[in-house]
Structure 1
Amino acid sequence: MTRDFFESSTPQPQPTITSSSTLTSNQPSPKGYPNSSYSNEADDEHSSDSDSDLSNMGPDHDRPQYEGEDTRLTSRKELSGFYAYGWAAEVFVVCGIGSFIPMTLEQLARERGVLAIDHKTPCRAGFSAPEPPFNYTSPSFTAAASPETAQCVVNILGRDINTASFAMYTFSVSVLVQALLIISMSGAADHGRFRKTLLLIFAFSGGIATMLFLAVVPKLFMIGALLAIIANTCYGATSVLINSFLPLLVRNHPTIRYPNSSSSVSVYSNESDEDYHGTFPVETTALLHDSGADVTPPTRRSPATTTSHELRLSTKFSSYGIAIGYSGALLLQTLAIVIVVLTGSSLFSLRLVLFVVGVWWTFFTFPAAYWLRPRPGPPLETIDGQGRARTWLGYFLFSWKSLIKTVTHARRLKDLLFFLGAWFLLSDGIATVVGTAVLFAKTTLEMKPAALALINVIATLAGVVGAVSWNGLSLFMGLKPTHTIIACIILFELIPLYGLLGFIPAVKSLGFLGLQQPWEMYPLGALYGFVLGGLSSYCRSLFGELIPPGFETAFFALFAITDKGSSIFGPAIVGAITDATGGIRPAFIFLAVLIAIPIPLMLMVDVERGKKEALEMARTLEYESQSILPQDQSAPELSSSPPES
């Protein structure tokens, strides 16, 4: 069973490839493909011989391009494995990082902390029996604060840190470790036979780390921070690894391998253009650019046609995976609210929910483990035949060299740099607003865990609505992509500005508005989700227009790293502001500035100019790749115009 999961031994030998010219009369025509590849039989790496035979039926361009390549057609079972992992892991983001981990870390530190006003009174001393979870009655701002809701500090390494800052610092450290790990292991994700092995190792490690929160008591609050770092790092690694399967699933899909097949249109039901609402690449691709061993398709097709079809399939599979993942997260978030209500909204309630999140993540990883094939990537010639330690060192060095090379290329694209600068700040603001809002609602508005979880449910539902409606709104209002993104940013800016209204005496005297009452968090949560649903999709779309055609993988790797790595700074700065001022509300000033800066950067983006620059760079990179490829290979053809939308 262990080998079934990890397949860490040598790759299976590939079957002998039969040329199309030697096909016998009883073999299927290359223009069709057997329906048996979509049967309900086991479709993992130990599938039946009928699966293996599929690689013998195609034309010459189905030949393996490197030793160990799995050229079998993508099956329903394999796609189900891809979707299954989204169902398994998305709950960690929505239920864990999005709500219950910040709450748990803050409460663990609070119960070991003292009041900031005297540094003597234990915050735990005034902890009374929990109120009903949806009792939102909060004291006025002039009332004396209770030990439970007053600002608390905890001593860490000789320094007093606000308990809310403790959660923010933990998140910053986890993102830093996550970014370093993602970059360092990306070579192993794209090359060799370790893709599936690493996916399962990190998935099970993250699930177990999340389950272990059940055993964390207040005196072990630092262990809780360590578990949060491990779990978030493992999730980031698995997100990159599962995304690296997507290009392979698309590349080996029957409608790509046999584009002229009359039956290809019915494989996964309607694959018409009407099912696709954009032809931009998504960030669910391999993290770093493949080596020269895998950049040349054996036969040449129309670049625009092939790219359009592959992007359509990639976006479709990715969208299904996201939808399935969010469905699972909403289901578990609803279950979490029930658990919190039934167990009294205590610290144990939070730890129990995280245990359930870890169980969900671990349990539903098993279907992905059985259904996904290893799909080994092209080996790196520089480390072929070396020892294990030197092999991993080779992957490490290759990963960082690839990133540096992509950054060097990106520096020559002015509009791409403007966009990446804006996206760096935006993604940092998006991640920081989530943690700040949860901790503000808990420590300042006294909202109970079930109420906080409900905010997350509302935001997620609004995100789904935003994702499907922003395209129509943009068309109705005649907005360009850059203008749509700016509109989203302006709406996003309303969230910190609304929080700053609480500083105005006239508003403060009302007792509501400016985030003085818990109910105000719900419409803001809906606004956040609605804006995020459009912002993320349009940013990916615009980025896809600004990158060199034919080099999407490498540049979307930079997009993903910018997205994940930027969140190191925002939470740390919010934590420092909270420590310095004794409250979270002043951090809204920083968030307002952080969200506003991308607006002028986005205004400087000229899409048409960026497309021309990207096309010129594509020609340059194409010439460079031709100069380093072996003589028996040739660089892929490059269209004289960007891929059709």
Structure 2
Amino acid sequence: MSVLANERVIVKENDIVERQMSFDNVSMESSKIQDFDAKPTTQRELIAWYMYSWATDGWTAASSSVFMPIIMSTMGTLGGTNGRDPTKHCNLVDPCYVQLGSAHVSPSSYALYITAIAVLVQAFIYIQLAAVADHSKHGKAFMIFFGFAGSITVLLWSVLSKNPTQYWGAGILFVLGTIFYGSSYVFYASYLPKLARNAPEVTEATDPVDKARKLTLRTSRTSLMGLCCGGAGGFIQMGIGIGVLYALNQSLLGLLVATSVGGAWWAIFTFIPLFFLKSRQGPPLPKGETYLVYPWKRLLKTMKRVSHLAQLFKFLLCWFFLSDGIYTILKVSVLFAQTVVHTPSVTLLIGAMVELFVSVPSYMFWGWVEKRFHIKPKTLLILLSFLSSMIPVYVLIGFSPNVSGGFKHPNEYIGLCAYFGFAAPSAISYARSTFSELIPLGRENEMFSMFLITQGGGGWIGPLITGVIGDKTGNMRYCNVFILACILVPMFGLFFVDVEKGKAEALSSAERDAQELASFESVKDDVSS
């Protein structure tokens, strides 16, 4: 089996001997590795990929992070039970609780617990879908299907949530919406390394060092542009939401209508990738395997080979906790601002809109910094993580009665949102682009599903623990101690991740997989003959 011209080439820039492409006694010239779908990446396909982010990122930027938590917390307050007199409804003076299974929790913690449940369920689904996406030629179709399913769920959620006593139903639909979004994102994110390595400037490069440099730069640019388009789409959605909220006198109905606008937006713009994004297929499913069992067998096999992809798994361990801290900042800050600082709903929405407005040029700025100063994605990830850690530090300063700042006043919320938009979204982008360089060829979906599972740890562990902290202490400001630790500890761990060595490990792993697949097919052919 010949090697394609656009196969993945990975070298150490400071070691010309690596041009021979020999890692761990593996020679690329005799390799059986190939990209099973080597169609050139076109500008139209890139735009279609960006537009899916434009369609869906409003879910994370507006609906699931701002509108829906506020609505669920409000529903819990309106439909919950008075903590002093269970026969009465909640008021603004006495403690309030809602039912979550057999437990009684506060309305603000309820939204955090529901988020934790949603992302935990998501993790198991990622594993099942990864094999489908890696080996099926219908990956694009699944991405579009889950996208439409998610948009419809958001619309149904908006209708059901008109009745505050149905907060439990809103929680169930929120879980479903999160699952649909995450499922579509598995297929969407796996396109990143495929689009990058099939880009014309990468495939046309002949010098290995130049080719590797262009591949890294193209991966970062594509990731940044995708998030940039998503941020722009979320910004417009947030603007529409604020307009609707003002028109409906800042009522619960206004928040529900704003959320339904996000669902309609998601559905409408999903048609663009439906028609213009190419279907890209990976290697065929081994004979005798099924999509029901194979994903779990492959995951077990991958975990047994941790030593073969040591740098990749080091990165995943760091990202597990780092994403926990970054994503929990966003989820806790909204509820903290609403329940502790008593920030008006319109100010919350304006702050979220400012965060999105700042994030778009920040993507461009950090992309320029990367190119201008030749800074590697991992280095930028560490820098941006440190900048993000300053948010919980600032909030913890608020414990001091002698300090006027520390997020004690509603007006501070907008400034914090602007700062978050400058640092955190770009950190997520560089985490994604760094990880894509460590993935063995042909296993994009499996690895990105693991990336999203670890990222999902921040989606359920962080909200779960901060929800408990808020319930036990009665002061959500303490949650920032946990958030700060979740950012700083893995940030230092990233210094021990060797990306260049990880690229070599990915190449060796892909070679090993190709040889095993060839041997497997040979045995099958011998048996059948």
TM-score w.r.t. the length of structure 1 is 0.67
1:308-334 Cα offsets, whole Å, 9 max, x none, are 555555544444333222222111111
Equivalent positions of 1:305-316 (< 5 A) are: 312-316=217-221
State how far apart, in whole Å, the 2-side matches of 1:380 and 1:533 are. Answer: 35
Report the Cα distance in structure 2 between the residues aligned to 1:432 and 1:620, rounded to whole angstroms.
34
What is the one-letter code of the residue matched to 2:103?
R
| CA-based RMSD | 3.5
Change in Cα spacing, 1:329 to 1:582, as seen in structure 2 (3 Å) is same
| C-alpha displacement of 1:253 | 5.9
Is the Cα contact below 8 Å between 2:224 and 2:367 reproduced in 1? no
SS for the counterpart of 1:396 is coil
Alignment match, 1:622: 511
> What SS is found at the alignment partner of 2:431?
helix
Higher RCO by CA contacts (8 Å cutoff, separation 6 or greater): 2
- 2:183 corresponds to 1:237: yes
Report deviation, 1:81. 3.3
More helix by percentage: 2
Distance in structure 2 (CA, Å) of the matches to 1:480 and 1:365: 33
CA contact (8 A) 1:549 1:615 kept: no
1:213 aligns with 2:147: no
2:278 is aligned with 1:367: no
2:296 counterpart residue number: 400
CA distance in 2, matches of 1:189, 1:475: 32
> Which amino acid is the alignment partner of residue 427 of structure 1?
S
Structure 2 counterpart of 1:517, which letter? H
| C-alpha contact (below 8 Å) 1:330/1:460 kept by paired residues | yes
Structure 1 equivalent of residue 462 of structure 2: 570
Shift of 1:555: 4.8
* Partner amino acid, structure 2, of 1:622: E
Q: Name the CA shift for 1:409/1:614 in 2 (closer, same or farther; >3 Å).
A: farther
Matches within 5 A, 1:435-584: 435-470=331-366, 484-507=380-403, 512-540=404-432, 542-543=434-435, 547=438, 553=444, 555-584=447-476
Write out aligned runs for 1:56-75 (5 A).
none
Q: Is the 8 A contact 1:466 1:532 kept in 2?
A: no
Q: 1:428 Cα shift?
A: 0.6
8 Å Cα contact 1:429/1:591 also seen in 2:
yes
The whole-number CA distance in structure 2 between the counterparts of 1:620 and 1:433 is 36
CA distance in 1, matches of 2:282, 2:510: 22
Matched, 1:382 2:248: no
Q: Which of 161, 167, 171 is the aligned partner of 2:111?
A: 167
- The letter of the residue matching 1:322 is L
* Aligned residue identity for 1:524: L
| C-alpha separation in 1, matches of 2:281 and 2:378 | 39
The residue aligned with 2:237 is 332
- CA separation of 1:344 and 1:364: change in aligned 2, threshold 3 A: same
CA distance in 2, matches of 1:551, 1:302: 23
Q: Deviations over 1:165-213 (max 9, x none)?
A: 1100111111112221121111111222432332222111110110112
Contact in 2 for aligned 1:154/1:160 (Cα 8 Å): yes
Cα distance, 1:396 vs. partner?
3.2
Q: Which position in structure 1 is the counterpart of 2:490?
A: 598
Cα offset, 1:339, TM superposition: 0.5
Which residue does the alignment assign to 1:588? 480
Q: Is the 8 A contact 1:173 1:229 kept in 2?
A: yes
* 8 Å CA contact retained: 2:378, 2:434: yes
| C-alpha distance in structure 1 between counterparts of 2:423 and 2:319, whole Å | 15
The answer (yes or no) to whether the contact 2:440–2:509 under 8 Å persists in 1 is: no
Shift of 1:476: 9.5
SS in 2 for 1:585: helix
Query: Which residue identity does 2:79 align to in structure 1?
Result: R
SS state of the match for residue 97, structure 2? strand
Contact 1:455 1:522 in 2 (8 A): yes
- Please give the secondary structure, in 1, of the residue aligned with 2:239: helix
Q: Residues 517-559 of structure 1, C-alpha deviation per residue, up to 9 Å, x if partnerless?
A: 10111221122222214423443455466x3775783655543
Q: Which residue identity lines up with residue 233 of structure 2 in the other structure?
A: G
Largest Rg, 1 or 2:
1
CA offsets, 1:211-231, max 9 Å, x none?
Answer: 112322112111111111111
Identity %: 29
Alignment deviations for residues 338-395 of structure 1 (CA, whole Å, 9 cap, x no partner): 1111111111111111111111111222233233344454431335xxxxxxx8xx21
CA–CA distance in structure 2, aligned partners of residues 205 and 613 of structure 1? 37
Q: State the AA in 2 paired with 1:325.
A: G
The aligned counterpart of 1:190 is: 134
Question: Would the aligned equivalents of 2:441 and 2:510 in 1 still touch at CA under 8 Å?
Answer: no
Determine the C-alpha separation between the residues in 2 that align with 1:478 and 1:367: 34
Amino acid at match of 1:334: G
Is the 2:134–2:443 Cα contact (8 Å) retained in structure 1? no
- Cα drift, residue 251 of structure 1: 6.4
CA change 1:326–1:471 in 2 (3 A) is closer
SS of 1:597 mapped into structure 2: helix
* TM-score relative to the length of structure 2: 0.80
Q: Whole-Å Cα distance in 1 between the matches of residues 102 and 505 of structure 2?
A: 56
CA distance in 1, matches of 2:422, 2:120: 28
User: Compared with structure 1, are the counterparts of its residues 230 and 481 closer, same or farther at alpha carbon in structure 2 (3 Å cutoff)?
Assistant: closer
Distance 1:415 1:250 in 2: 21
Q: Is the 8 A contact 2:440 2:510 kept in 1?
A: no
Corresponding residue of 1:44: none
Deviates more, 1:396-405 or 1:370-379: 370-379
Contact 2:223 2:429 in 1 (8 A): no
Cα distance between partner residues in 2 of 1:473 and 1:306:
21
Aligned residues: 486
Aligned to 1:323: 228
Gap runs ≥5 in structure 1: 1-64, 127-145, 261-300, 384-390, 634-645
Maintained 8 Å contact 1:464/1:533: no
Report which stretch shifted further, 374-383 or 340-349.
374-383
User: Aligned equivalents of 1:477 and 1:318: distance in 2?
Assistant: 19
> Which of 63, 66, 71 is matched with 1:99 structurally?
66
Write the mapping of 1:114-193 to structure 2, written as runs, cut at 5 A.
114-116=81-83, 119=86, 121-123=88-90, 146-147=92-93, 151-193=95-137
Distance (whole Å) between structure 1 residues aligned to residue 309 and residue 40 of structure 2: 37
Name the CA shift for 1:596/1:631 in 2 (closer, same or farther; >3 Å). Answer: closer
Q: How many Å apart are 1:96 and its aligned residue? A: 0.8
Q: CA deviation at 1:452?
A: 0.8
